[in-house]
Amino acid sequence: MGSILSAHLTHKRSRMSELENIARKSPSELLSIISNMPGVLECAVLKTCNRVEFYTVTNDVGVTKDALERTIGAMLSFDASQNATLYLKDLNSVSHLLRVASGLDSMVLGEDQILGQVKDAYELALSERHIGPRLSVVFRGAISTGKKVRTETRISKGEVSIGSTAVRMAETCIGSLEGKNILILGGGEMASLIAKHLVDRNPNTVFVSNRTYSRAVELAWELNGRAVNFDGMVDHMAQCDVVLCATSATHMILVKEQVERAMEDRGGRDLLIIDVSFPRNVSPDVSDVPGVRLYDIDGLREQAEENIKRRRNEIRDAERIIAAELESLHMRFNEMHADAIISQMYQKYNLMREREVNKALNRLAAGHEPVEIVLEDLASALMNKFLFEPTTALKEASREGNMDKLLMVGEMFRMIGESHVSRDQAPKIEVESHD
C-alpha cells in the first residue's frame, strides 16, 4: 500500500518571493521530477498563487523525504527560511488537503478558487498516470469535503478570493475606486476575479492589457472597459491611479524603467501597483520609484487576517465536517489495507493449492495408489502448508512472551474465547508444529 508523504510550501511558512524558482516550473514539470524520486509509487502536485504542495505515496518514507528535501532545497531562494517546507505523513497529510480544499488553509479564508485547483491537480496527475488508488481516494475525498463545506456553511459567502482582497487593498490605500482609472494586466482567471469585484466600485475607466489581445478584448467588454495592446501598457499606466497585475507569466513583465517612464507624465500623482501574480510579475525595485507604492501577495496578509476574524463561526462548522470526513477516509484506508492483505493471501494460498492438487492428480494418473490415500495426503499437505506460518508466529510469540500477538492470532482463527484466557493470565506455551 505504501505511506502518504507530503511537502507543503505555503503563505503560512514562507514569503512568496522565496518560492519563485519553484513557481516558475509548471505542475507537469514538478510531477515529472517527483515521480522519478526513489520510493514514489504515486504523486500529485497542487500549485496555486500562494502554495506549492507535493503529495506522494511511497514505499520508503525516509528515502523519499530525503529526495524531496534535496530537490526543494535546490529550488528555494538562497535566503529562504530553513522551516519553509512543512512535511506531513498519512492522516496528517490527508487532513491538510481536506482543509485546503475547504478553503480553511487559504490566505483568504473560504477562497472559492482553491477547490477547482484541487480538482485540476487531481485530473492532471490522473491524466499523466502519476496517481493511483490511494491518492485517488484522498483527492476525491478532499473534493467532496470541499463541496460539502461550501454547501453546509457560509465559509465562502461574500468576497473570498485573492482578487477581491486585491481590490479591497486598493480601497484601503487610496479610498473609494469610484471615478478612478484602473489598469488590469492579465486576462486569466485571477484577472477575471479582479474585474468581477471592480464592477460595483464604479471606476471611471478600466483598461485591460494582455499578451493575447483577444482575451483583453473579452475581459474589457465584460467591464465596459477598453482593451490595450500589451506594447502600449506604459502609456496607459500614466493615466491610471491603480495597476492590478495578475498574469501567468513566469518572468517580470513590468520593470523599473517602464514605471519611471509612466511616472514622468503623471504630474506628480502617486501610483499604486498591486501584483498578485505567482511568481511575481512586477520587479521589486519598482518600489524605489518616487511616488510608487508596490504590494505583492505577501502584502495582502493583513487584509486576509481581517477576513479570518469575521468568519470564526464558519470555521468551527467547517472543522466539524472535516473531522467527520477524515474519520470516514481513515476507515476507507483500513478497508483498502485489509483488501490488499486479503488479495495477497488468496494469491499466495491459491498457488500452494494448485501445486498440491497437481501433485495429487499426477499420483492418481499413475494409478499406483488408492484414491483415499492420495486425498488424505492432499488434505494433510494443504493443512500443513496453510497453518505453517500461523503456527510459527504462535511459537515466536510464546517464546517472546508476547501475549497480545498470541491472543490476536488465536482470535483470528476463532480458537480463543475471552472466557478461556486473558492477556494477564495466558500461560507461555509451545505450539505443536504441523511441518
Measure Cα distances from 345 to 2, 341, 342, 350, 434 in Å: 18, 6, 5, 8, 20
Distance CA 1, CA 343 (A): 12
Kindly name the residue from 43, 49, 240, 245 that is annotated as catalytic: 49
Alpha helices in 265-300 (DSSP H): none
For residue 176, the SS3 value is coil
Predicted TM-score (pTM) above 0.85: no
Domains of the chain as residue ranges with CATH: 3-158 (3.30.460.30), 162-306 (3.40.50.720), 337-412 (no CATH)
Q: Are 190 and 163 in contact (CB under 8 A)?
A: yes
Q: For cell 493443512, what's the residue?
A: 383
Give the mean pLDDT of the chain: 88
Mark 295-313 as b/e (b = at least 16 C-beta within 10 Å).
Answer: bbbebbeebbeebeeebee
> Tens of pLDDT along 388-403?
888 888 888 888 888 8
Any residues with CB less than 8 A from the CB of 177 and at least 6 apart, and which? 167, 170, 171, 198, 201, 202, 203, 242
Assess whether 240 carries a catalytic annotation: no
For range 260-277, the mean pLDDT: 92
> Tens of pLDDT along 92-144?
999 999 999 999 998 888 888 899 999 999 999 999 999 999 999 999 999 99
pLDDT band at residue 16 using 50, 70 and 90 as cut-offs: confident
Give me the pLDDT at residue 18, please: 83
Residue 236 is placed in which grid cell? 496607459
